Amino acid sequence: MSAAAALLPILRRVEELRAATLPWRRAGQTIGLVPTMGALHAGHLALLGRAVADCDRAVATIFVNPKQFDRKEDLSRYPRDETRDTRLLAEHRCDLLFAPQVEAMYPPGFASTVGVTGVSDVLEGLYRPGHFNGVTTVVCKLLLQAQPDRAYFGEKDYQQLTVVKRMVRDLDIPVEIVPVATVREADGLALSSRNVNLTPAQRAVAPLLHRVMTEIAEELADGQTPATLLLPEGQQRLGSAGFTKIDYLALHAADDLTPLLRVDRPARLFAAAWLGKTRLIDNIAVESS
Q: Residues in the site for ligand PAF, rule: CB under 6 A?
A: 35-37, 65, 68, 135, 138-139, 157, 160
| CA torsion, ordered 195, 201, 204, 205, to nearest 10 deg | -90
Closest-by-Cβ residue to ligand PAF is 35
124 vs 220, which CB is nearer to ligand PAF? 124
Backbone angles phi, psi at 40, to 5 degrees: -70, 145
Nearest to ligand PAF of 37, 269 (CB atom): 37
* Smallest distance, ligand PAF to C-beta of residue 265, A: 26
- From the candidates 41, 44, 210, 252, give the one annotated as an active-site residue: 44
Phi-psi region of 172 (alpha: psi -120 to 50; beta: other; left: phi over 0): left
Judged by CB, which is closer to ligand PAF: 135, or 263?
135
Task: Provide the sign of the torsion angle of the four alpha carbons 8, 13, 16, 22, taken in this order.
Answer: positive
Query: Using CA atoms in the order 31, 35, 41, 42, what is the torsion angle rounded to 10 degrees?
Result: -40
Task: Output the smallest distance, CB 70 to ligand PAF, in A.
Answer: 13
Kindly state the smallest distance separating residue 167's Cβ from ligand PAF, in Å.
Answer: 12
Q: How far is the CB of 255 from ligand PAF (least distance, A)?
A: 20
151 versus 263: smaller Cβ distance to ligand PAF: 151
Neighbouring-strand partners of residue 253: 267
Q: Smallest Cα–Cα separation from 271: which of 232, 222, 224, 240?
A: 232
Is 210 tagged catalytic? no
| DSSP states of 123-143 | THHHHSTTHHHHHHHHHHHHH
Catalytic residues: 44
